[in-house]
Each structure stands twice: as C-alpha cells, then as structure tokens.
Amino acid sequence: MQIKNKAKETLIGVETLPSEYKDKLPAVVLVHGFAYQKEEDGMFVELAKRLTEIGVISYRFDFSGCGESEGDYVDTTLSKLRDDLESILEFVKTRSNVDPNRIGIIGQSFGTTTTIALAPEINSLVLMGTVLNAKEILVNLFGDGYNPNGISTRIRSDASTVRIGPEFWKDFGNHNLPSLVKQIKCPILLIHGSEDDHVPLSEMEETHSIANEPKEKIILEGADHRLDPKREEMYKIVIDWFKKTL
C-alpha cells in the first residue's frame, strides 16, 4: 500500500491482517531505524506475523528515502521522519478495519527517536534499543564521517553507505526529546540488549526514569542492538505486552 507524506512523496508500506476477522481490530505500527527498511532484517516481518495470531493488524512503512519509498535520505531530518510517522498514523486510524482507540507502536533504534519526537496519542508503546540523546549517539557512530557543514557518510558492516546532509544535525535543536517523553501518556515497554554496542544501556535507563507510569523495562542479557540472539524471547515479550495493553 502507499500514502503521500507532507512533502508529497510516496511512502510504501505493508498491511498484515489476521486470516479471519469481523469487527474493527487493534493495530500496531512498526517504526524502523536509521536508514533501514520496513523489514528490519526480518524482525518486523516476524512481529507482524505474530501480531496477526493475537488478532492485531500491523502496518510497516519505509520512511522517505528508504527501501521502496520516494525521496533521498540525504535530505532527511528528525522533523521529516516525525512528519512521515504522523502521516502514517493518520492513515492507519482512518482504515475501515482498524479500531482507532486501540493503536500501538513498536519503535526500533532510531525509530524510537522518531516516535518520541512525535509523542503520539496512542494506546500502547514498545521502544527497543532506545535512542534518546540521538545527536550524540549518531555523531559517535559516524565517527570520522561526521561533517556538520557538509555530507556526513557512514559505511555499515554490510558495506552499504549512509549519506546525511547538514540539516539533519541542525534539526536536532528543534526537539527536546526528554521533555517529549513526558508527553507520552500510554503504557510504555522498553527493551534493550545488554551487549548493545551501538546504543548504551543508559539511553534506555534515562528514558525509563522520565517516562510516565505505567512503564516497564526489560534487559535482554547477551543481546546486541538487533536483539540477536534473543529475538525469540523479545517476540514473546512484545506479544504478551500488546495482549495486556491493547
């Protein structure tokens, strides 16, 4: 499926439905990370499948400049990603088969930052590999490729290259992310791998400390930033969470 974002770019997404249903159902939007895609290395595909098994529709979109969607990621900013997510949520809430009063989000990595930036009015939230002090974390990840006045580049472990323009870094000044966490009123579950070498555990701990109740945090021992090799445990935790909160 596809929608238009505020920049009139086409965003491509996938709707995953339970095999049988009659009434309006709860829905979960899966929000991918920095310069990733709607599959999240298979993680989001598996979560979508398991959500259908408990009667939940899921939606996962490529942000502008990612995957199949239009746009160039070099032009992205947190504000643009936030606006993309807002457009996606507006679309989901108007779907004829969705109960707009039973909406959840799963954010992964920088998808948590995008979700916090929007501070959406939803019913349940899961943040995995939470990135709160986003500029600091990303400057560190870009390393020598960080260029606040030009094009920043980062070569990933799979040899792909991410390119970001200077507006990306400047735009962080428009977002007080800790303050925005406090604006989120729904139940929040935070999951983090103990061996995450991209985002320190302190990011999750800080987010949890300022989040409103009800809130829970889970540290997956031995898991990395992609939550390997504890994904199976994570899937069960997330599904149980939405059973309770949606």
Contact 56, 242 (CB under 8 A): yes
Angstrom distance (rounded) from CA 73 to CA 165: 9
Angstrom distance (rounded) from CA 226 to CA 59: 20
For the chain, what are the domain ranges? 2-133+177-245
CATH number of 2-133+177-245: 3.40.50.1820
Per-residue pLDDT tens digits for 87-140: 999 999 999 999 999 999 999 999 999 999 999 999 999 999 999 999 999 999
CA 79 to the chain's CA centroid: 14
Rounded to two decimals, the pTM is 0.96
Per-residue pLDDT tens digits for 34-90: 999 999 999 999 999 999 999 999 999 999 999 999 999 999 999 999 999 999 999
Quote the pLDDT of residue 216.
Answer: 99
Handedness of CA 245, 179, 190, 107 (dihedral sign): positive
Lowest mean pLDDT among 3-12, 20-29, 45-54, 167-176: 20-29
Omega within 30 of 0 (cis) for the link into 229? yes
Per-residue pLDDT tens digits for 160-196: 899 999 999 999 999 999 999 999 999 999 999 999 9
Contact 165, 153 (CB under 8 A): no
Q: Residues 6 or more apart from 112 whose CB is under 8 A from it?
A: 31, 127, 128, 129, 130, 131, 132, 207
